[in-house]
Homo-oligomer: A and B are copies of this chain.
Amino acid sequence: MVLADMKQDEVRSFIDDRTIALLPVGATEVHGDHLPLCTDVFLAEGVTRKVAERLGQDRALVLPSVNYGQVWSLGLTTGTVDIPDDVLVPYLVAIATSMHRSGIRTLAFINAHVGNNAAIKSAMRRCLDLCDLKTYSFTYPGAEEVISKVCVSHRPHKAYFHACEIETSYMLYLAPDKVDMSKAIRQYPDFPDDFDYTPTRWTELFSTAVLGDATLATAEKGRAIIDSVVDNIVHLLTKGE
């Protein structure tokens, strides 16, 4: 069920101890010339929708999305919005604790933007301390295993990739009408040796926000990874039952 559309009587009778609230957390951040600025919102919402379907209409409660996230590395690019961690954390905590007040006992942050992870981690710990709310943070859990099987481009960096074969494939599967593959490029910047150890704006390294090879993206690759991610999330949320 989608909270945004529910009526007061519906939400009252819907929530019980088994309800799992799903909060899509995205960002507004440039993703090259072929993907939209809210790529991470569309992906978080897409994964959330699929998880909700699997959990079932009587159990999953999809919350309105958080459309703005923490974006430092690309924070100075035109169109990008950056919510600093010390602003984002209490915002997430306010949403989650309001849900707890509504009777929710389990809430999962379905996150599509790596930059949000530190804020979500802090928020989860604070929720536990404040009201013993059980929270989860899922940023494509288990994706790497499938990526290594279905993706063919080499990775631009040990940890980072962006608007590339992987993310573009996600979009081609989850929101294909928002992708313009004719603008897809490959870009492998030279990272300075100290890139992992000193704060570096990505805009010092490249101007179009693609990190990897977007031209190799396909909906099939996206489907393979995302479906597995959804499996993993559903498994983790329900395994003890």
Of the candidates B37, B78, B85, B178, which one forms a contact with A122 in the assembled complex, judged by CB atoms under 8 Å apart? B85
Of the candidates B8, B68, B87, B180, which one forms a contact with A209 in the assembled complex, judged by CB atoms under 8 Å apart? B8
Of chain B, the residue at the smallest CB distance from A141 is B197
How far, in whole Å, are A99 and B77 apart by their CA atoms in the complex? 10
How far, in whole Å, are A96 and B180 apart by their CA atoms in the complex? 28
Of the candidates B30, B83, B121, which one forms a contact with A8 in the assembled complex, judged by CB atoms under 8 Å apart? B30
**One of A48-56, A128-136, A222-230 contacting the partner:** A128-136
How far, in whole Å, are A10 and B36 apart by their CA atoms in the complex? 9
Copies of this protein chain in the complex: 6
**Distance of A76 from chain B, by nearest CB (Å):** 7
- Residue of A8, A11, A33, A76 with most chain B CB atoms under a 10 A cut-off: A8
Interfacial residues of chain A within 111-155, with CB under 8 A of chain B in the complex? 118, 121-122, 124-125, 128, 134-138, 141
Of the candidates B5, B124, B199, B239, which one forms a contact with A125 in the assembled complex, judged by CB atoms under 8 Å apart? B199
Q: Are B4 and A236 in contact, CB atoms less than 8 angstroms apart? A: no
Of chain B, the residue at the smallest CB distance from A123 is B199
Of the candidates B9, B66, B197, B235, which one forms a contact with A136 in the assembled complex, judged by CB atoms under 8 Å apart? B197
Q: Is A218 an interface residue (CB 8 A)?
A: no
Q: Is A189 an interface residue (CB 8 A)?
A: no
Interfacial residues of chain A within 81-116, with CB under 8 A of chain B in the complex? 81-88, 90-91, 94-95, 98-99, 101-103
Of the candidates B28, B64, B84, B236, which one forms a contact with A28 in the assembled complex, judged by CB atoms under 8 Å apart? B64
Q: Is A15 an interface residue (CB 8 A)?
A: yes
Of the candidates B34, B94, B136, which one forms a contact with A82 in the assembled complex, judged by CB atoms under 8 Å apart? B94
Q: Is A241 an interface residue (CB 8 A)?
A: no
Given A4-B38, A38-B5, A82-B98, do A194 and B239 touch, yes or no (CB 8 Å)? Answer: yes
Q: Which residues of B contact A141 (CB under 8 A)?
A: 196-197
Interfacial residues of chain A within 207-241, with CB under 8 A of chain B in the complex? 208-209, 235-236, 239
Q: Is A166 an interface residue (CB 8 A)?
A: no
Q: Which residues of B contact A193 (CB under 8 A)?
A: 235-236, 239
Would you give 23 A-B contacts (Cβ < 8 Å), ordered by A?
A3-B37, A4-B36, A4-B37, A4-B41, A4-B67, A7-B31, A7-B34, A7-B35, A8-B30, A10-B33, A11-B37, A11-B78, A15-B79, A68-B94, A82-B94, A82-B98, A83-B95, A84-B94, A87-B87, A118-B121, A125-B199, A136-B197, A136-B198
